[in-house]
Structure 1
Amino acid sequence: MNTERLKIINGKIITPFRILQGGTVLVANGKIEALSQGDIEAGDAQVIDAKGNYVAPGFIDIHVHGGGGHDFMDNSLTAFLEIAKLHARHGTTALTPTTLTAEKRDLIQTLELYDQAHRENTQGAQFIGMHLEGPYFALNQRGAQDPRYIRDPDPEEYKALVPHFPSIKRWSAAPELKGALDFGHYMRTHGVLPAIAHTDALYDDVLEAFEKGYTHVTHLYSCMNGVVRRNAFRYAGVVESAYLMDEMTVEIIADGIHVPAPLLKLVYKIKGPDKVALITDAMRAAGMPPGESILGSLTGGLKVIVEDDVAKLPDRSSFAGSVATADRLVRNMVTLADVPLTDAVRMMTSTPAAIMGIEKTKGKLEQGMDADIIIFDASISVDTTIVGGRIIFRKEA
């Protein structure tokens, strides 16, 4: 346990309800001990002067594949730790390592490495469980997912993996596939969030899937149907279904490219900040210069090109993951979508925490919550990142 006491002063503190001007946050034993609009006496605490900048809960990224030249499916401890460090420098204090559709042995190696990486990760964003993205997808909505490994849900496979790897907290799948409803029910009853992704589902499919536990949509608008026309008749797709179902939560890649400004505004207007999580969906090229890169593992991944601030397949027929970081997402919601800063922060903190079921400990600046705290300026440039009461990043003066 981190026993160091920290005292953050002169900050604009973003609470769930308001911004406290000139506020103070006191941290002890890895938790938030107190907040105040004025000073808090704590003579033994290390003082951090926010210098009038914003003090916010740490960002929570519930869909991230890599960054800093590494991918979680490289299956190396170094990759896990370096990805965590890269995203912490941009304000992320908690994240879910995310896999891609791959050979079963590669997936198992990634899962086997998680526990060690979780224990040894002391200098980066905290790992809050694994997100398996695939392999149970609709083939023609695969995007950049490797078609060689896409298949229908296999009960023998997932019923062996989930009990053996309690780190699995989320699994994305196409709910219209054979066996997908049973898969969703199994996930929900075993404490795993089933999410709708890479899918050709229509409204009736989504409604039935929601009843089986699919209460979340993975990267809304990407690799899924909107309105579909079949034999002259129109049908609502996943996008419209997500809007119609008030309790359905969604996530968006708010890099301004996967989801452009008008759609960012539309998602916010219809769903509101409590049902929308911002995600990076970042691949290994996040934080790296443009040029050639690889989506997925170094050995079995797909070659991609990073240009125009996004990763693309070499033939430029599809995006291949984003290179965004969390600070960019919040900045885009404010500058491109005209969202109030407090709501933009909520979509990167308390909302993803609630989706992942960790809202009692993370996502808000409140007494007793984990001391996951960031300090950033008016342009959402991160100055300081604190995870569990430990300072893990401070921008050089």
Structure 2
Amino acid sequence: MKLRKIYNARIVTPAKVIPNGSILIRGNKIVGIEEGNIEAAGAEEWDAHGNYVMPGFIDIHVHGGGGHDFMDGEEEGFLKIAQTHLQYGTTAMLPTTLTSDKAGILQTVQCYQRAAAKNKTGAQFLGMHLEGPYFSMEQRGAQNPEYIRNPDPAEYEEITKTAAGAIKRWSAAPELPGANEFARYLVKQGILPSLAHTDAIYEEALEGFKNGYTLATHLYSGMSGVTRRNAFRYAGVIETAFLLDEMDVEIIADGKHLPAALLKLIYKIKGPGRIALITDAMRGAAMPEGESILGNKQSGMKVIVEDGVAKLPDRTAFAGSVATANELVRNMVNLAEVPVHEAVQMLTSTPARIVGVENRKGRLTEGMDADITICDGAFNVQAVMVMGEFLYEKL
């Protein structure tokens, strides 16, 4: 197997940044990491020129990019999205759906299965994330209300059977009738339930957590905070996520959905070990601003991309992110004032743990997959390696 060495690197680990280190890769695995220059006779050498060398970014919530959306149900689109986000440092992702009818979900799942077998030049697919359709109408955000409904055992059992293990996580509102039964079913199938587009109060969210909803989907977006009912105050899902130390959260750190103050607050309370940075990107990511479509290109919602975010046509609300993974790290460092190694942790080892691949991805240590992203000091991507092969090089 090919032996390759990356040297003259600022290596980012979960604990610190090694100012001048090197990594040795044999085949698709990391076999050595040291300060200084590793002696490796016969290795193909690659000079990192003092850039940051970090684990490949893992985006566990992404809908599209480069003009494509996973809900289009096109194999080429799946592959183009993976190639687009690879150029911004993402080496692994969970393709994500939007609320749809059963036929639309099944079509997307089946397309995923075909595309996954052909995906050789983009970010790896780790499984699907189904976002919806079991949501609160009051917290639907840009999700199509026509398809929002309560969990139906016949429906979700058919979908999981058809998916044949391809589904990694499923977002739903825990307060809905049958939602906790749904969560228990998912856990038995090895699928992670997550809280999303929910109007639950603390007691309902806590019950959901006990039944398996251990991740909060895009914290603050599409979820309840403190509310009043008959003059009494009730904590919502946001407060529940803060109160439960064991609950993981994901955040859209595009600098639009959450301002710097909220990024700092979430970081202060949850810490890098419980936060996963996500793009939540729609088809407008890595595309010029202007008119776009959220969801299926034939039946999706018309939106406008401007000011670095997708908005409803009347500009009353956001309608998706156009972020790329490297922007998330840049914003956490520059806006939230988080140390580089912790910002990177939130896009590597933490999401790897959340989706159960921490034994092979998310850290630059011996025995791990050689998924590597190399960025300059401003977090512009210079090169990306997936399973020991450079699939993108700018240097």
Partner of 2:187: 188
Partner of 2:261: 262
How far off is 1:5 after superposition?
Answer: 2.6
How far off is 1:38 after superposition?
Answer: 2.1
TM-score w.r.t. the length of structure 2 is 0.98
Partner of 1:68: 66
Q: For residues 4 and 118 of structure 1, do their structure 2 counterparts lie closer, same or farther at Cα, with a shift above 3 Å needed?
A: farther
Q: How does 1:324-363 map to 2 (within 5 A)?
A: 324-363=323-362
CA distance in 2, matches of 1:15, 1:9: 15
- Partner-residue secondary structure (3-state), 2:329: helix
TM-score w.r.t. the length of structure 1 is 0.98
How far off is 1:229 after superposition?
Answer: 1.2
CA distance in 2, matches of 1:158, 1:45: 50
CA distance in 2, matches of 1:335, 1:121: 34
Q: Please point out which of 152, 155, 164 is paired with 2:153.
A: 155
Partner of 1:109: 107
Q: Please point out which of 28, 50, 61 is paired with 1:30.
A: 28
CA distance in 2, matches of 1:144, 1:192: 25
Partner of 1:366: 365
Q: How does 1:201-240 map to 2 (within 5 A)?
A: 201-240=200-239
Does the 8 Å CA contact 2:303/2:312 hold for their aligned counterparts? yes
- One-letter identity of the residue aligned with 1:80: F
- Partner-residue secondary structure (3-state), 2:156: helix
Does the 8 Å CA contact 2:106/2:162 hold for their aligned counterparts? no
CA distance in 1, matches of 2:76, 2:39: 41
1:93 aligned to 2:94? no
How far off is 1:378 after superposition?
Answer: 0.8
How far off is 1:104 after superposition?
Answer: 1.4
1:4 aligned to 2:2? yes
Which structure 2 segments of 5+ residues have no match? none
How far off is 1:102 after superposition?
Answer: 1.2
How far off is 1:215 after superposition?
Answer: 0.3
- One-letter identity of the residue aligned with 1:75: G
How far off is 1:40 after superposition?
Answer: 2.1
How far off is 1:103 after superposition?
Answer: 2.1
- Partner-residue secondary structure (3-state), 1:374: strand
CA distance in 2, matches of 1:349, 1:195: 19
How far off is 1:43 after superposition?
Answer: 3.3
How far off is 1:334 after superposition?
Answer: 0.4
Q: Please point out which of 118, 122, 125 is paired with 2:123.
A: 125
CA distance in 1, matches of 2:368, 2:290: 41
Deviations 1:324-369 (A, max 9, x none): 0000000000000010001000000000000001100000000000
Mean Cα deviation higher: 314-323 or 274-283:
314-323
- Partner-residue secondary structure (3-state), 2:184: helix
CA distance in 2, matches of 1:40, 1:119: 36
CA distance in 2, matches of 1:272, 1:321: 25
Could you tell me the percent identity over the aligned residues?
A: 59
Count residues in correspondence: 394
CA distance in 2, matches of 1:4, 1:113: 33
